[in-house]
Protein backbone atom coordinates (compact mmCIF):
# COMPACT_ATOMS: atom_id res chain seq x y z
CA UNK A 1 0.00 0.00 0.00
CA UNK A 2 1.30 3.45 -0.92
CA UNK A 3 1.88 5.74 2.04
CA UNK A 4 -0.41 8.78 2.09
CA UNK A 5 -0.16 12.49 2.82
CA UNK A 6 -2.50 13.68 5.56
CA UNK A 7 -3.27 17.14 6.93
CA UNK A 8 -4.78 17.38 10.40
CA UNK A 9 -5.98 20.78 11.54
CA UNK A 10 -7.89 23.02 13.86
CA UNK A 11 -9.87 25.52 11.83
CA UNK A 12 -8.84 29.18 12.38
CA UNK A 13 -9.95 30.42 15.80
CA UNK A 14 -9.33 33.28 18.20
CA UNK A 15 -9.62 33.77 22.00
CA UNK A 16 -13.04 35.39 21.46
CA UNK A 17 -14.32 31.90 20.65
CA UNK A 18 -13.76 30.97 24.30
CA UNK A 19 -13.88 34.22 26.26
CA UNK A 20 -16.27 37.10 25.82
CA UNK A 21 -15.45 40.55 24.51
CA UNK A 22 -12.34 42.46 25.58
CA UNK A 23 -11.92 39.94 28.42
CA UNK A 24 -10.47 37.57 25.80
CA UNK A 25 -7.46 39.86 25.40
CA UNK A 26 -6.66 39.60 29.12
CA UNK A 27 -7.28 35.94 29.98
CA UNK A 28 -7.35 34.12 26.64
CA UNK A 29 -4.64 31.65 25.67
CA UNK A 30 -3.86 28.81 23.28
CA UNK A 31 -3.06 25.18 24.05
CA UNK A 32 -1.58 22.75 21.57
CA UNK A 33 -4.12 20.32 19.99
CA UNK A 34 -3.23 17.20 21.94
CA UNK A 35 -5.91 14.98 20.36
CA UNK A 36 -4.78 15.86 16.84
CA UNK A 37 -1.15 15.28 17.77
CA UNK A 38 -2.01 11.84 19.17
CA UNK A 39 -3.69 10.92 15.88
CA UNK A 40 -0.69 12.29 14.00
CA UNK A 41 1.57 10.05 16.05
CA UNK A 42 -0.47 7.00 15.02
CA UNK A 43 -0.29 7.94 11.35
CA UNK A 44 3.45 8.55 11.49
CA UNK A 45 3.96 5.19 13.20
CA UNK A 46 2.28 3.58 10.19
CA UNK A 47 4.61 5.43 7.83
CA UNK A 48 2.25 8.14 6.54
CA UNK A 49 3.32 11.76 6.07
CA UNK A 50 1.49 14.24 8.27
CA UNK A 51 1.18 18.02 8.44
CA UNK A 52 -0.56 19.64 11.43
CA UNK A 53 -2.03 23.14 11.11
CA UNK A 54 -3.34 25.04 14.12
CA UNK A 55 -5.77 27.84 13.33
CA UNK A 56 -4.67 29.67 16.46
CA UNK A 57 -1.74 30.98 14.44
CA UNK A 58 -2.87 30.68 10.81
CA UNK A 59 -5.43 32.74 8.90
CA UNK A 60 -8.21 31.10 6.91
CA UNK A 61 -6.66 32.05 3.56
CA UNK A 62 -3.18 30.89 4.57
CA UNK A 63 -4.54 27.58 5.83
CA UNK A 64 -6.31 26.86 2.54
CA UNK A 65 -3.14 27.77 0.65
CA UNK A 66 -0.95 25.52 2.83
CA UNK A 67 -3.34 22.59 2.43
CA UNK A 68 -3.39 23.10 -1.34
CA UNK A 69 0.41 23.18 -1.54
CA UNK A 70 0.72 19.98 0.51
CA UNK A 71 -1.79 18.12 -1.72
CA UNK A 72 -3.04 15.73 0.98
CA UNK A 73 -4.99 12.58 0.21
CA UNK A 74 -7.02 13.17 3.38
CA UNK A 75 -7.83 16.28 5.42
CA UNK A 76 -8.86 15.72 9.04
CA UNK A 77 -10.50 18.63 10.89
CA UNK A 78 -11.33 18.88 14.59
CA UNK A 79 -14.73 20.36 15.45
CA UNK A 80 -16.68 21.24 18.56
CA UNK A 81 -20.07 22.91 18.61
CA UNK A 82 -19.09 26.55 18.15
CA UNK A 83 -16.42 25.85 15.49
CA UNK A 84 -18.66 23.78 13.18
CA UNK A 85 -19.62 26.69 10.85
CA UNK A 86 -15.93 27.50 10.35
CA UNK A 87 -15.11 23.85 9.79
CA UNK A 88 -17.80 23.67 7.09
CA UNK A 89 -16.43 26.81 5.45
CA UNK A 90 -12.91 25.36 5.48
CA UNK A 91 -14.11 22.09 3.93
CA UNK A 92 -15.86 24.02 1.15
CA UNK A 93 -12.83 26.20 0.41
CA UNK A 94 -10.48 23.20 0.28
CA UNK A 95 -12.82 21.19 -1.96
CA UNK A 96 -12.93 24.09 -4.42
CA UNK A 97 -9.16 23.80 -5.01
CA UNK A 98 -8.68 20.10 -4.23
CA UNK A 99 -11.90 18.35 -5.21
CA UNK A 100 -10.41 14.86 -4.82
CA UNK A 101 -9.28 15.25 -1.19
CA UNK A 102 -11.34 13.37 1.40
CA UNK A 103 -12.48 15.64 4.22
CA UNK A 104 -12.94 13.92 7.59
CA UNK A 105 -14.37 15.68 10.67
CA UNK A 106 -13.96 14.50 14.25
CA UNK A 107 -14.29 15.90 17.75
CA UNK A 108 -16.97 16.32 20.45
CA UNK A 109 -19.64 17.59 18.04
CA UNK A 110 -19.75 14.26 16.22
CA UNK A 111 -21.02 12.23 19.18
CA UNK A 112 -24.77 12.12 18.72
CA UNK A 113 -24.63 14.66 15.87
CA UNK A 114 -22.70 12.69 13.26
CA UNK A 115 -25.43 12.80 10.63
CA UNK A 116 -26.15 16.46 11.32
CA UNK A 117 -22.48 17.29 10.64
CA UNK A 118 -22.67 15.55 7.26
CA UNK A 119 -25.86 17.43 6.42
CA UNK A 120 -24.18 20.68 7.43
CA UNK A 121 -21.92 20.52 4.39
CA UNK A 122 -21.78 18.43 1.22
CA UNK A 123 -18.04 18.98 1.32
CA UNK A 124 -17.60 16.83 4.44
CA UNK A 125 -17.10 13.23 3.35
CA UNK A 126 -16.72 11.32 6.62
CA UNK A 127 -17.46 11.91 10.29
CA UNK A 128 -15.48 10.03 12.94
CA UNK A 129 -17.49 9.23 16.08
CA UNK A 130 -15.42 8.69 19.21
CA UNK A 131 -11.67 8.41 19.56
CA UNK A 132 -9.87 8.83 16.26
CA UNK A 133 -6.45 7.19 16.54
CA UNK A 134 -7.41 3.76 15.20
CA UNK A 135 -10.22 4.98 12.96
CA UNK A 136 -8.17 7.52 11.02
CA UNK A 137 -5.48 4.94 10.22
CA UNK A 138 -8.11 2.59 8.81
CA UNK A 139 -9.66 5.43 6.79
CA UNK A 140 -6.32 6.43 5.30
CA UNK A 141 -5.44 2.85 4.47
CA UNK A 142 -8.90 2.39 2.89
CA UNK A 143 -8.63 5.38 0.55
CA UNK A 144 -7.72 3.13 -2.35
CA UNK A 145 -10.65 0.82 -1.58
CA UNK A 146 -13.67 3.12 -1.22
CA UNK A 147 -16.03 0.18 -0.76
CA UNK A 148 -14.27 -0.92 2.44
CA UNK A 149 -15.47 2.07 4.47
CA UNK A 150 -18.58 0.22 5.58
CA UNK A 151 -16.35 -2.16 7.51
CA UNK A 152 -14.69 0.61 9.50
CA UNK A 153 -16.26 1.06 12.93
CA UNK A 154 -17.09 4.49 14.31
CA UNK A 155 -17.79 6.49 11.15
CA UNK A 156 -20.65 8.02 9.17
CA UNK A 157 -20.32 8.71 5.45
CA UNK A 158 -22.32 9.13 2.27
CA UNK A 159 -22.97 6.21 -0.07
CA UNK A 160 -24.93 7.02 -3.24
CA UNK A 161 -26.48 10.04 -1.55
CA UNK A 162 -27.49 8.15 1.58
CA UNK A 163 -25.86 8.60 4.98
CA UNK A 164 -24.43 5.35 6.34
CA UNK A 165 -23.38 4.97 9.98
CA UNK A 166 -21.31 1.97 11.01
CA UNK A 167 -21.18 0.25 14.39
CA UNK A 168 -19.65 2.29 17.19
CA UNK A 169 -16.00 1.71 18.00
CA UNK A 170 -15.17 0.85 21.58
CA UNK A 171 -12.93 3.30 23.46
CA UNK A 172 -9.26 2.34 23.29
CA UNK A 173 -8.60 0.01 26.20
CA UNK A 174 -4.79 -0.01 26.28
CA UNK A 175 -3.69 3.61 26.23
CA UNK A 176 -0.07 2.55 26.74
CA UNK A 177 -0.15 1.14 23.20
CA UNK A 178 -0.63 4.60 21.70
CA UNK A 179 2.46 6.48 20.48
CA UNK A 180 3.32 9.72 22.20
CA UNK A 181 1.75 12.80 20.59
CA UNK A 182 3.69 14.14 17.58
CA UNK A 183 4.58 17.44 19.23
CA UNK A 184 7.34 18.11 16.70
CA UNK A 185 4.63 19.02 14.18
CA UNK A 186 3.55 22.23 15.96
CA UNK A 187 5.42 25.35 17.20
CA UNK A 188 5.38 24.51 20.91
CA UNK A 189 7.10 27.76 21.87
CA UNK A 190 4.11 29.78 20.62
CA UNK A 191 1.52 28.30 22.98
CA UNK A 192 0.46 30.05 26.18
CA UNK A 193 -2.24 28.75 28.56
CA UNK A 194 -4.94 31.14 29.87
CA UNK A 195 -3.75 33.85 32.25
CA UNK A 196 -3.22 32.68 35.81
CA UNK A 197 -2.94 28.98 34.97
CA UNK A 198 0.81 28.69 34.39
CA UNK A 199 4.04 29.54 36.18
CA UNK A 200 6.67 28.95 33.50
CA UNK A 201 6.73 29.03 29.71
CA UNK A 202 6.74 27.28 27.31
CA UNK A 203 4.24 24.76 28.67
CA UNK A 204 2.83 21.55 27.19
CA UNK A 205 -0.08 19.29 28.06
CA UNK A 206 -0.24 15.56 28.82
CA UNK A 207 -3.23 13.25 29.02
CA UNK A 208 -2.33 10.54 31.53
CA UNK A 209 -5.88 9.16 31.50
CA UNK A 210 -9.13 9.49 29.60
CA UNK A 211 -12.63 9.79 30.96
CA UNK A 212 -14.18 10.71 34.31
CA UNK A 213 -16.15 8.79 36.91
CA UNK A 214 -18.33 11.81 37.68
CA UNK A 215 -21.89 12.24 36.46
CA UNK A 216 -22.12 16.02 36.17
CA UNK A 217 -24.91 16.99 33.80
CA UNK A 218 -22.81 19.58 31.96
CA UNK A 219 -19.79 17.39 31.21
CA UNK A 220 -19.30 15.59 27.91
CA UNK A 221 -17.98 12.04 28.19
CA UNK A 222 -16.87 9.68 25.43
CA UNK A 223 -18.06 6.67 27.42
CA UNK A 224 -21.54 6.63 28.89
CA UNK A 225 -20.25 4.23 31.55
CA UNK A 226 -18.46 7.11 33.30
CA UNK A 227 -15.24 5.17 33.56
CA UNK A 228 -11.60 6.23 33.58
CA UNK A 229 -8.94 4.54 31.44
CA UNK A 230 -5.42 4.98 32.70
CA UNK A 231 -1.97 5.00 31.23
CA UNK A 232 0.57 3.32 33.47
CA UNK A 233 2.82 5.52 35.58
CA UNK A 234 5.82 4.15 33.64
CA UNK A 235 4.28 5.15 30.31
CA UNK A 236 3.50 8.67 31.55
CA UNK A 237 7.00 9.13 32.93
CA UNK A 238 8.38 7.89 29.61
CA UNK A 239 6.50 10.66 27.82
CA UNK A 240 7.92 13.25 30.22
CA UNK A 241 11.38 11.81 29.53
CA UNK A 242 10.77 12.26 25.79
CA UNK A 243 9.62 15.87 26.25
CA UNK A 244 12.73 16.69 28.30
CA UNK A 245 14.97 15.02 25.72
CA UNK A 246 13.38 16.27 22.49
CA UNK A 247 12.08 19.67 23.67
CA UNK A 248 14.57 20.87 26.30
CA UNK A 249 13.12 24.40 26.18
CA UNK A 250 9.84 23.25 27.81
CA UNK A 251 9.50 24.50 31.37
CA UNK A 252 6.06 23.33 32.51
CA UNK A 253 3.85 20.27 32.01
CA UNK A 254 0.11 20.41 32.60
CA UNK A 255 -1.90 17.24 33.14
CA UNK A 256 -5.07 17.64 31.10
CA UNK A 257 -6.90 14.72 32.74
CA UNK A 258 -10.43 15.29 33.99
CA UNK A 259 -9.35 13.84 37.33
CA UNK A 260 -5.63 13.25 37.81
CA UNK A 261 -6.02 11.92 41.36
CA UNK A 262 -8.91 9.42 41.15
CA UNK A 263 -6.41 6.54 41.21
CA UNK A 264 -4.36 7.78 44.16
CA UNK A 265 -1.81 4.97 43.94
CA UNK A 266 -0.97 5.81 40.33
CA UNK A 267 -0.83 9.56 41.12
CA UNK A 268 1.68 8.82 43.89
CA UNK A 269 3.74 6.66 41.49
CA UNK A 270 3.88 9.44 38.89
CA UNK A 271 4.90 12.03 41.48
CA UNK A 272 7.54 9.78 43.01
CA UNK A 273 8.95 9.05 39.54
CA UNK A 274 9.16 12.79 38.83
CA UNK A 275 10.97 13.33 42.15
CA UNK A 276 13.52 10.58 41.37
CA UNK A 277 14.27 12.08 37.97
CA UNK A 278 14.79 15.60 39.29
CA UNK A 279 13.30 17.39 36.28
CA UNK A 280 13.69 21.17 35.95
CA UNK A 281 9.95 21.47 35.38
CA UNK A 282 6.86 22.74 37.11
CA UNK A 283 3.53 20.88 36.93
CA UNK A 284 -0.20 21.57 37.11
CA UNK A 285 -3.20 19.22 37.25
CA UNK A 286 -7.00 19.12 37.47
CA UNK A 287 -8.64 17.16 40.29
CA UNK A 288 -11.96 16.51 41.99
CA UNK A 289 -12.24 17.65 45.59
CA UNK A 290 -13.36 14.19 46.77
CA UNK A 291 -10.18 12.47 45.56
CA UNK A 292 -7.54 14.56 47.32
CA UNK A 293 -5.61 14.16 50.56
CA UNK A 294 -2.96 15.98 52.55
CA UNK A 295 -0.46 13.24 51.73
CA UNK A 296 -1.08 13.47 48.00
CA UNK A 297 -0.77 17.26 47.97
CA UNK A 298 2.52 17.01 49.88
CA UNK A 299 4.09 14.59 47.41
CA UNK A 300 2.76 16.65 44.49
CA UNK A 301 4.43 19.73 45.92
CA UNK A 302 7.73 17.86 46.28
CA UNK A 303 7.38 16.78 42.63
CA UNK A 304 7.09 20.39 41.48
CA UNK A 305 3.33 20.88 41.18
CA UNK A 306 2.77 24.60 41.70
CA UNK A 307 -1.01 24.52 41.20
CA UNK A 308 -4.16 22.44 40.86
CA UNK A 309 -7.58 23.13 39.43
CA UNK A 310 -10.38 22.14 41.80
CA UNK A 311 -13.82 22.37 40.19
CA UNK A 312 -15.89 23.85 43.01
CA UNK A 313 -18.76 24.90 40.67
CA UNK A 314 -20.86 26.24 43.59
CA UNK A 315 -20.76 26.83 47.33
CA UNK A 316 -24.49 26.11 47.77
CA UNK A 317 -25.31 22.45 48.39
CA UNK A 318 -28.60 22.31 46.50
CA UNK A 319 -26.85 23.70 43.41
CA UNK A 320 -24.15 21.01 43.62
CA UNK A 321 -26.86 18.38 43.95
CA UNK A 322 -28.74 19.78 40.95
CA UNK A 323 -25.76 19.18 38.64
CA UNK A 324 -25.03 15.74 40.17
CA UNK A 325 -21.60 16.84 41.33
CA UNK A 326 -21.56 14.21 44.05
CA UNK A 327 -19.65 16.30 46.59
CA UNK A 328 -20.39 18.40 49.66
CA UNK A 329 -19.65 22.09 50.14
CA UNK A 330 -17.42 21.18 53.08
CA UNK A 331 -15.32 19.02 50.74
CA UNK A 332 -14.83 22.06 48.51
CA UNK A 333 -13.53 24.04 51.46
CA UNK A 334 -11.33 21.24 52.82
CA UNK A 335 -9.68 20.58 49.45
CA UNK A 336 -8.67 24.24 49.04
CA UNK A 337 -7.26 24.42 52.58
CA UNK A 338 -5.35 21.14 52.18
CA UNK A 339 -3.73 22.34 48.95
CA UNK A 340 -2.76 25.66 50.47
CA UNK A 341 -1.31 23.93 53.54
CA UNK A 342 0.95 21.94 51.19
CA UNK A 343 2.06 25.12 49.39
CA UNK A 344 0.06 24.51 46.20
CA UNK A 345 -1.91 27.29 44.54
CA UNK A 346 -5.53 26.64 43.59
CA UNK A 347 -7.64 27.57 40.59
CA UNK A 348 -11.31 27.12 41.46
CA UNK A 349 -13.95 27.50 38.71
CA UNK A 350 -17.47 28.60 39.66
CA UNK A 351 -20.53 28.16 37.42
CA UNK A 352 -23.63 30.35 37.35
CA UNK A 353 -26.96 29.46 35.76
CA UNK A 354 -27.25 26.02 37.38
CA UNK A 355 -30.70 24.36 37.34
CA UNK A 356 -32.80 25.71 40.19
CA UNK A 357 -30.18 28.32 41.10
CA UNK A 358 -31.45 31.77 42.04
CA UNK A 359 -29.64 35.09 41.86
CA UNK A 360 -29.38 35.01 45.66
CA UNK A 361 -27.77 31.56 45.50
CA UNK A 362 -25.18 32.98 43.11
CA UNK A 363 -24.42 35.84 45.50
CA UNK A 364 -24.04 33.32 48.34
CA UNK A 365 -21.48 31.38 46.30
CA UNK A 366 -19.52 34.59 45.61
CA UNK A 367 -19.59 35.43 49.32
CA UNK A 368 -18.35 31.97 50.34
CA UNK A 369 -15.62 31.64 47.70
CA UNK A 370 -14.24 35.04 48.74
CA UNK A 371 -13.68 33.56 52.20
CA UNK A 372 -11.47 30.77 50.84
CA UNK A 373 -7.68 31.10 50.49
CA UNK A 374 -7.93 30.19 46.81
CA UNK A 375 -5.67 32.01 44.35
CA UNK A 376 -7.71 32.24 41.15
CA UNK A 377 -11.41 31.94 40.39
CA UNK A 378 -13.10 31.98 37.00
CA UNK A 379 -16.83 32.63 37.06
CA UNK A 380 -18.41 30.77 34.15
CA UNK A 381 -21.91 30.47 32.72
CA UNK A 382 -23.35 26.96 32.43
CA UNK A 383 -23.23 25.82 28.81
CA UNK A 384 -25.26 22.85 27.46
CA UNK A 385 -22.66 21.37 25.12
CA UNK A 386 -24.11 18.86 22.63
CA UNK A 387 -23.94 15.29 23.87
CA UNK A 388 -24.30 16.18 27.56
CA UNK A 389 -27.18 15.28 29.84
CA UNK A 390 -27.99 18.99 30.08
CA UNK A 391 -28.29 19.38 26.31
CA UNK A 392 -30.14 16.13 25.69
CA UNK A 393 -32.79 16.97 28.31
CA UNK A 394 -32.62 20.74 28.31
CA UNK A 395 -36.35 21.31 28.91
CA UNK A 396 -36.03 19.44 32.20
CA UNK A 397 -33.51 21.97 33.48
CA UNK A 398 -34.29 25.26 31.73
CA UNK A 399 -34.20 26.66 28.22
CA UNK A 400 -31.76 27.52 25.47
CA UNK A 401 -31.22 31.20 24.72
CA UNK A 402 -29.95 30.51 21.19
CA UNK A 403 -30.16 27.92 18.42
CA UNK A 404 -26.76 28.86 16.93
CA UNK A 405 -23.93 26.47 17.74
CA UNK A 406 -21.54 29.42 17.44
CA UNK A 407 -22.96 30.69 20.74
CA UNK A 408 -22.14 27.49 22.63
CA UNK A 409 -18.85 28.81 24.00
CA UNK A 410 -17.27 28.28 27.40
CA UNK A 411 -18.21 31.81 28.43
CA UNK A 412 -21.46 32.70 26.66
CA UNK A 413 -24.94 32.35 28.13
CA UNK A 414 -26.54 29.75 25.86
CA UNK A 415 -28.75 28.39 28.66
CA UNK A 416 -30.85 29.81 31.48
CA UNK A 417 -32.54 27.87 34.29
CA UNK A 418 -36.17 28.54 34.99
CA UNK A 419 -35.13 30.37 38.14
CA UNK A 420 -32.79 32.99 36.63
CA UNK A 421 -32.57 35.35 33.67
CA UNK A 422 -29.74 35.79 31.22
CA UNK A 423 -29.14 39.29 32.56
CA UNK A 424 -28.82 37.97 36.12
CA UNK A 425 -26.21 35.39 35.04
CA UNK A 426 -24.16 38.08 33.29
CA UNK A 427 -24.47 40.31 36.35
CA UNK A 428 -23.30 37.49 38.64
CA UNK A 429 -20.24 36.83 36.49
CA UNK A 430 -19.26 40.50 36.61
CA UNK A 431 -19.99 40.75 40.32
CA UNK A 432 -17.95 37.61 41.05
CA UNK A 433 -14.83 38.85 39.28
CA UNK A 434 -15.21 42.31 40.79
CA UNK A 435 -15.64 41.15 44.38
CA UNK A 436 -13.01 38.43 44.36
CA UNK A 437 -10.17 40.23 42.59
CA UNK A 438 -10.65 43.75 44.00
CA UNK A 439 -10.26 42.79 47.67
CA UNK A 440 -7.35 44.76 49.18
CA UNK A 441 -6.06 41.70 51.07
CA UNK A 442 -6.02 39.66 47.86
CA UNK A 443 -4.23 42.37 45.88
CA UNK A 444 -1.64 42.72 48.64
CA UNK A 445 -1.06 38.95 48.73
CA UNK A 446 -0.51 38.78 44.96
CA UNK A 447 1.91 41.70 45.12
CA UNK A 448 3.93 40.14 47.93
CA UNK A 449 4.09 36.77 46.14
CA UNK A 450 5.21 38.26 42.82
CA UNK A 451 8.60 36.64 42.20
CA UNK A 452 8.98 36.05 38.45
CA UNK A 453 8.28 37.79 35.16
CA UNK A 454 5.38 35.37 34.67
CA UNK A 455 3.87 36.53 37.96
CA UNK A 456 4.25 40.13 36.79
CA UNK A 457 2.64 39.37 33.45
CA UNK A 458 -0.31 37.64 35.12
CA UNK A 459 -0.71 40.63 37.43
CA UNK A 460 -0.73 43.13 34.55
CA UNK A 461 -3.29 41.20 32.54
CA UNK A 462 -5.34 40.51 35.64
CA UNK A 463 -5.46 44.19 36.63
CA UNK A 464 -6.46 45.17 33.10
CA UNK A 465 -9.22 42.56 33.18
CA UNK A 466 -10.37 43.83 36.58
CA UNK A 467 -10.47 47.41 35.27
CA UNK A 468 -12.65 46.33 32.35
CA UNK A 469 -14.88 44.31 34.64
CA UNK A 470 -15.52 47.31 36.88
CA UNK A 471 -15.82 50.03 34.25
CA UNK A 472 -17.28 48.10 31.28
CA UNK A 473 -20.75 46.83 32.31
CA UNK A 474 -21.05 44.73 29.12
CA UNK A 475 -17.64 43.06 29.48
CA UNK A 476 -19.18 39.57 29.58
CA UNK A 477 -22.03 40.08 27.11
CA UNK A 478 -21.25 38.52 23.69
CA UNK A 479 -23.97 40.63 22.09
CA UNK A 480 -22.06 43.80 22.94
CA UNK A 481 -19.17 43.20 20.53
CA UNK A 482 -18.50 41.91 17.07
CA UNK A 483 -16.14 39.08 16.21
CA UNK A 484 -14.75 39.03 12.70
Nearest to 206 by CA among 182, 230, 181, 184: 181
Query: Residue 305, exposed/middle/buried by CB under 10 A (0-12, 13-18, 19+)?
Result: buried
Which of 23-32, 43-52, 98-107, 199-208 comes out lowest in average pLDDT?
A: 23-32
Q: Over 60: is that where the pLDDT of 83 sits?
A: yes
Q: How confident is the model at residue 479 (pLDDT cuts 50, 70, 90)?
A: low
Query: Residue 381, exposed/middle/buried by CB under 10 A (0-12, 13-18, 19+)?
Result: buried
pLDDT value of position 10: 95
Q: Residues of CATH 3.40.50.280 domain(s) within the chain?
A: 5-165
Q: Give residue-wise pLDDT tens across range 295-354.
A: 999 999 999 999 999 999 999 999 999 999 999 999 999 999 999 999 999 999 999 999
Q: How confident is the model at residue 482 (pLDDT cuts 50, 70, 90)?
A: very low
Separation of CA 270 from chain center: 22
Query: Which has more confidence, 170 or 462?
Result: 170
453-471 and 440-448 helices cross at what angle (nearest 10)?
Answer: 160
Nearest to 179 by CA among 44, 51, 10: 44
d(CA 261, CA 211): 13
For the chain, percent of residues with pLDDT exceeding 70: 88
Q: What is the largest CA-CA distance in the chain?
A: 68
Query: Residue 43, exposed/middle/buried by CB under 10 A (0-12, 13-18, 19+)?
Result: buried
pLDDT value of position 350: 97
Q: Give residue-wise pLDDT tens across range 148-205.
A: 788 999 999 988 889 999 999 999 999 999 999 999 999 999 998 877 778 999 999 9
Indicate the CATH number of 196-480 among 3.80.30.20, 1.10.357.20, 3.40.50.300, 3.90.1200.10: 3.80.30.20
pLDDT value of position 23: 53
Q: How confident is the model at residue 368 (pLDDT cuts 50, 70, 90)?
A: very high
pLDDT value of position 465: 63
Q: Over 70: is that where the pLDDT of 467 sits?
A: no
DSSP-derived 3-state class of residue 191: coil
- Output DSSP code: residue 193: P
d(CA 81, CA 70): 28
Q: Over 80: is that where the pLDDT of 220 sits?
A: no
Determine if residue 368 is left, alpha or beta; phi over 0 gives left, psi from -120 to 50 gives alpha, anything else beta: alpha
With beta carbons less than 8 A apart as the criterion, state whether 306 and 344 touch: yes
CA neighbours closer than 13 Å in the CB half-sphere of residue 11: 24
> For the residues 219-240, what does the mean pLDDT come to?
85
Write out the DSSP string of 157-183.
Answer: EEETTEEEE-PPPPPPS-GGGSPPP-G
pLDDT value of position 471: 60
CATH topology of domain 5-165: Rossmann fold (3.40.50)
Q: How confident is the model at residue 484 (pLDDT cuts 50, 70, 90)?
A: very low
With beta carbons less than 8 A apart as the criterion, state whether 271 and 299 touch: yes
Q: How confident is the model at residue 412 (pLDDT cuts 50, 70, 90)?
A: confident
DSSP-derived 3-state class of residue 64: helix
Nearest to 170 by CA among 82, 229, 255: 229
Query: Is pTM beyond 0.75 here?
Result: yes
pLDDT value of position 30: 78
Kindly provide the residue ranges of all beta strands, DSSP E only, lying in 213-337, ordered along the sequence. 229-230, 252-255, 282-287, 305-310
Q: How confident is the model at residue 464 (pLDDT cuts 50, 70, 90)?
A: low
Nearest to 381 by CA among 418, 422, 342, 346: 422
Which of 142-156, 409-423, 426-440 comes out lowest in average pLDDT?
A: 142-156
DSSP-derived 3-state class of residue 30: strand
Nearest to 86 by CA among 55, 118, 130, 47: 55
DSSP-derived 3-state class of residue 197: coil
* Residue 138 phi, psi (nearest 5): -65, -35
DSSP-derived 3-state class of residue 76: strand
Q: Residues of CATH 3.80.30.20 domain(s) within the chain?
A: 196-480
Q: Give residue-wise pLDDT tens across range 8-28.
A: 999 998 766 555 555 555 555
Average pLDDT, the chain: 90
pLDDT value of position 474: 63
Amino acid sequence: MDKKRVVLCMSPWRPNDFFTGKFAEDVGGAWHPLGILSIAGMLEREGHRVMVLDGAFISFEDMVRMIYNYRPHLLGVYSNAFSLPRVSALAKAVKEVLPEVKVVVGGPITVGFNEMVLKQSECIDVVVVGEGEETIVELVEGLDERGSWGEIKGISFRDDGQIVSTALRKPIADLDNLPYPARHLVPLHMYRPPTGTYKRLPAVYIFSSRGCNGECIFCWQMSKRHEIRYRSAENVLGEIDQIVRDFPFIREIRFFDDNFAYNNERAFQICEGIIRRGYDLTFYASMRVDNVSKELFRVMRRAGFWGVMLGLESMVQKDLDAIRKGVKVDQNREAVYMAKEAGIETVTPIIFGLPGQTYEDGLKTIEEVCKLPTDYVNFHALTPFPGTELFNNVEKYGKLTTDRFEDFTFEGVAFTPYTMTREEILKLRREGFKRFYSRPAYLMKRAVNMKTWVDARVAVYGLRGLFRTIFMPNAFDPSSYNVS
